Amino acid sequence: MAEPWLSADGIAAHLGITKDTVYTWISDKRMPAHKVGRLWKFQASEVDEWVRSGGTAASSDVEKSS
């Protein structure tokens, strides 16, 4: 069975973050997301892999701690 697509609300709930953080991570940290018309859609497996590979600690966080 194919993995369901999640909305911004759905992926925010999956990760335990706010929807505003989701949109910030899409633009600032290259969170994997797919634009479908005006909506952003997410595959939980892609986002989980991105988190595990350190995606949430992308350049802006690293630069601040240097």
Where exactly are the structural domains of the chain? Answer: 8-55
Q: Which of 8, 44, 3, 14 is nearest to 26 (CA)?
A: 8
Tell me the whole-structure pTM to 2 decimals.
0.81
Distance in angstroms (rounded) separating the CA atoms of residues 23 and 25: 5
Euclidean distance between CA atoms 59 and 41, whole angstroms:
24
- Tell me the three state secondary structure of residue 35: strand
pLDDT in single tens digits along all 66 residues of the chain? 899 999 999 999 999 999 999 999 999 999 999 999 999 999 999 999 999 999 988 555 444 444
> Which residue type, as a one-letter code, is found at position 43?
Q
